[in-house]
Structure 1
Amino acid sequence: MMPEFSIDSAEKLARDMDWNLLRTFVILAKSRSVTEAAEKMRLKQPTVSSALKRLEDRLGKRLIDRSPGNFRLTKAGELLEKEAVEIHGAILRLNTLMRETVDEVRGHVQIAMASHVISPLFDNTLTEFHKTYPYGTLTIDISASRHVIEKVMARRASMAVCLVRDRNPALEYKRLFREYFGLFCGPSHPLFGLEGLTKADLAGHSTVSFVTDHMSDALRQVTLMRADADLEDRVVGTSANLEEVRRLIIAGLGIGPLPIHVVKRDIEDGHLWRLPPFEAPPAVDVYVVWNPKARLNRAEQAFLDLLLAQIEKTPLSEREYI
């Protein structure tokens, strides 16, 4: 007669866990109600409520406080969300890993990137990658820096190129380049084309900017520059996309910050006019970010290795753009 093996609680949980419940919980954690989560998943509300109850019963913990007027994660729910996001990302990558076992020389690189990154070093890496690995493919997905980081953490992107506010200890960071910001206005603005302006001339004028332009985010130095210029406190237009902030400035909605090296052609063509301060413009670093726990395919690893090698051999002085 075969001996009966005892199974500890952790092994039993792993054996009995329905992974679809974790997927449902990931969506619930980013929603404001069960109804909203059900709409996102195109399911009926009772189905999602039942899934949440089954998961809570399985874990023996209340995961979401659903008391009247409240819908927020409990401490147990916050811990589970962090783990569930990684598990969900790993499952999504299984298809890629299985492809690799069939054809190890091919692979796809998913790069999550902040808007309008201008870097000759990055462009050179793209060229070298294509020449060296002609069967490798790439996708560059543009979104706000905070969403870019979320994609890398959840393993929905191979790597990110973006601004960084707070470093997540679970991720790796390498500075790609440093850019400098100035203040600009468009052709219809009353300060456009005027020479000899000082910061005092900017006082009280309306302003536009990036959604990350505040004291607690990645563009803190830009926020300080705007405050020092005594611009109007109210920001009349914002966007996460550099091209759209540029559009708002050119359209005359207000004075706004842009990376100086990115808009040189616009200045030459008469679309933008640079305003004070001209000395010591604020510096903002752009990073390559990747998840060391993610199992990269050969193309992903090759691209990351090429990019990091380019960074290592290029002094920072040659990666400062102004």
Structure 2
Amino acid sequence: MAEQRELDKLGNQLDWNLLRTFMVIVQEGSITAAASRLFVTQPAVSLALKRLEARLDRELIERGPGHFRITEAGETIYREVVDIYGTISRFGILVREIQEEISGHIRIFMTSRIQTVVFDRVLREFHIRYPRVTFRIDVIPSAEIHIALQQKICTLGICLLREPIPGLRSEVLIHQTYRLYCGRGHRLYGRTGLDVADLRKEDFVSFTTDQIDGTLSPLAVFRAREGFGGRIVGASANLEEVRRMIVCGLGLGPLPEHIATRDVADGELWELPPYEGVAPVDVHLIWNQQSKFNRAEIAFREALLATVRDLPVDRRLPT
């Protein structure tokens, strides 16, 4: 027991600077060279060695005029010190690798019915990594998202963007292709061999932004170019409500292909010409670079952007 107390006392009293000095002496092969490497005087190095030997009650280096030899005890201590030094030198790397806990609140404005594996994957992985972060996701029209971002109300917008907006930055999240569909009760449902001319007098269901100056202006351009003369019998800013009116037979209307695929397979919708699609419409990630973001907002945005840039656009939609 007394011997163990002495060993514990020795461990508590050992000075790492003495051990490091001894390691450098062995590596350099002389007191003089060690002093030069450590930027201290030769007497200071000699004193450090004597103090360490006194603490350990062992001679570690036999030295004299023209004589320098590591003792067996010195070899043992040197090997241990090298291992300790290797561990200490890694402290900086280990600390950098530890992810500091991030907390905070993230508010996202999103247009209706956005489906993409990118956002879902990042949201899931981010929550696992930073469980203290909270989210609020509001579904509003794209035009209102643009205004909210300009007013710095939210962190990130996921919406349509007809043209760049000064002060806002954007990145394409997904490419969508809009196609025309009708519901089961529509007179064109189930008919084949149709062309665009067969649709021109039909009533139409669409989005409130399906206007020349709206975010879905490509749809308005298509109708004008093809001479569609039917009435607009239903409109909504919400994609789910546009889909509802089409399914219920109010009129034919446009939907993103990947959104309508399941309904077509289930017999709720019927695809109409032009079969190459009406218009491509991209969904963008949009943010205001001048906003003051908290650490959670910055981390989430960067994680989302990194995933978008690493994943080919044809793999961002659900399969």
TM, length-normalised to structure 2: 0.65
Out of 289, 302, 306, which is 2:303 matched to?
306
Does residue 212 of structure 2 align to residue 200 of structure 1?
no
- Partners of 2:257 and 2:318 lie apart in 1 by 8
Superposition pairs of residues 37-48 of structure 1, within 5 angstroms? none
Q: Which amino acid aligns with 2:147?
A: E
Deviation at 1:229, TM superposition (A): 4.4
Superposition pairs of residues 120-269 of structure 1, within 5 angstroms? 120-269=117-266
Does residue 313 of structure 2 align to residue 295 of structure 1?
no
Structure 2 partner of 1:113: 110
Deviation at 1:130, TM superposition (A): 0.8
8 Å CA contact 2:205, 2:251 repeated in 1: yes
- Partners of 2:292 and 2:164 lie apart in 1 by 21
- Partners of 1:316 and 1:258 lie apart in 2 by 19
Call closer, same or farther: CA 1:229–1:249 in 2, change over 3 Å.
Answer: farther
Q: Which amino acid aligns with 1:190?
A: R
Deviation at 1:227, TM superposition (A): 3.3
Q: Which amino acid aligns with 1:269?
A: D
8 Å CA contact 2:174, 2:313 repeated in 1: yes
Structure 2: which 5+ runs fail to align?
1-99
Deviation at 1:165, TM superposition (A): 2.3
Call closer, same or farther: CA 1:193–1:229 in 2, change over 3 Å.
Answer: farther
Paired residue secondary structure (2:176) = strand
Q: Which amino acid aligns with 2:116?
A: S
Percent identity (aligned): 41
Q: Which amino acid aligns with 1:212?
A: T
- Partners of 1:316 and 1:216 lie apart in 2 by 27
Q: Which amino acid aligns with 1:169?
A: P
Deviation at 1:195, TM superposition (A): 1.5
8 Å CA contact 1:178, 1:321 repeated in 2: no
RMSD: 1.9
CA offset digits 1:128-164 (Å, max 9, x no partner): 1111111111111001000011111111111100001
Paired residue secondary structure (2:115) = coil
- Partners of 1:270 and 1:307 lie apart in 2 by 35
Off by >4 Å, runs of 4+ in structure 1 = none
8 Å CA contact 2:110, 2:139 repeated in 1: yes
Q: Which amino acid aligns with 1:168?
A: I
8 Å CA contact 1:179, 1:321 repeated in 2: no
CA offset digits 1:211-265 (Å, max 9, x no partner): 1111222212222333344333531111000000011111111111000101111
8 Å CA contact 2:175, 2:281 repeated in 1: yes
CA offset digits 1:84-110 (Å, max 9, x no partner): xxxxxxxxxxxxxxxxxxx97311110
Deviation at 1:122, TM superposition (A): 1.1
CA offset digits 1:178-202 (Å, max 9, x no partner): 1000001111110011112111211
- Partners of 1:226 and 1:271 lie apart in 2 by 24
- Partners of 1:126 and 1:254 lie apart in 2 by 36
TM, length-normalised to structure 1: 0.65
Out of 267, 271, 285, which is 1:270 matched to?
267
Superposition pairs of residues 61-80 of structure 1, within 5 angstroms? none
- Partners of 2:265 and 2:139 lie apart in 1 by 27
- Partners of 2:262 and 2:228 lie apart in 1 by 25
Does residue 312 of structure 2 align to residue 315 of structure 1?
yes
- Partners of 2:282 and 2:163 lie apart in 1 by 13
- Partners of 1:282 and 1:133 lie apart in 2 by 39
8 Å CA contact 1:177, 1:321 repeated in 2: no
- Partners of 2:146 and 2:209 lie apart in 1 by 14
Paired residue secondary structure (2:137) = strand
Out of 280, 285, 288, which is 2:282 matched to?
285
